[in-house]
Amino acid sequence: MIGQLLAPWSPFVCLKRNIKLGKPTSSQAKSTIKSSLLLIVDPELRDEEKDRVWSYFGSACGYCGRKLNRAAREGHVDHLIPVSLGGRNHIGNRVLACAACNGNEKRDLPWEPFLKSKCTTPDAFAARRARIDAWKAHFGTDDLQLPPDVLAVLEAATARVFAAYDAAVEEVRALKNKMD
């Protein structure tokens, strides 16, 4: 009904379309808000930065050494320090990885013991660790994790949006109750 009253480009019409595609819950909405604010200070890699990661790691997994076919979308640009532990999207915190090393196997493990578990010889471990260390050293330590003061501002801004969102949900729920 509302859709018929509003112009097709109205944000509410677009929102209604999105809602039809899935079931956005309050926690999904909050997670989208949080990541959209985070991406402002910690943007995803640009294409040319992804090219640089592929080239530096010689189109091979930085952990297990498996050769990767980029055209077949085999490689992933993994995070050395996982995002869940405050790792940044910055190129200095990224390593080329195969699907197995990027996925379930590594999870939130620190990269060094994980790398060791993927190397069959001490020489391979030393060489791959040196490659990752040189990559990291090329960038600053601030490139690996967001500084605490930035995180504090981000957290406060996110909390303010969440509070406003919760209040809006209450308001609209009350409206819905009146409609029923």
Q: Which residues bind Zn ion (CB under 5 A)?
A: 61, 63-64, 66, 98, 101
Least Å distance, CB 97 to Zn ion, is 6
Nearer to Zn ion, 105 or 143 (CB): 105
Least Å distance, CB 104 to Zn ion, is 12
Least Å distance, CB 9 to Zn ion, is 45
Least Å distance, CB 119 to Zn ion, is 11
Nearer to Zn ion, 64 or 146 (CB): 64
Half-sphere exposure of 98 (CA within 13 A, CB side): 14
E strand or H helix that includes residue 11 = helix 11-21
Nearer to Zn ion, 115 or 146 (CB): 115
159's CB contacts (< 8 A; 6+ apart) are: none
Least Å distance, CB 102 to Zn ion, is 7
Compute the distance between CA of residue 51 and CA of residue 90 in angstroms, rounded to an integer. 14
Contact 33/112 with Cβ under 8 angstroms?
no
Nearer to Zn ion, 38 or 124 (CB): 124
SS3 39: helix
DSSP track, 69-110: -TTTT--EEEESS-GGGTB--SGGGEEEE-HHHHTTTTTT--
SS3 67: strand
Nearer to Zn ion, 76 or 146 (CB): 76
SS3 1: coil
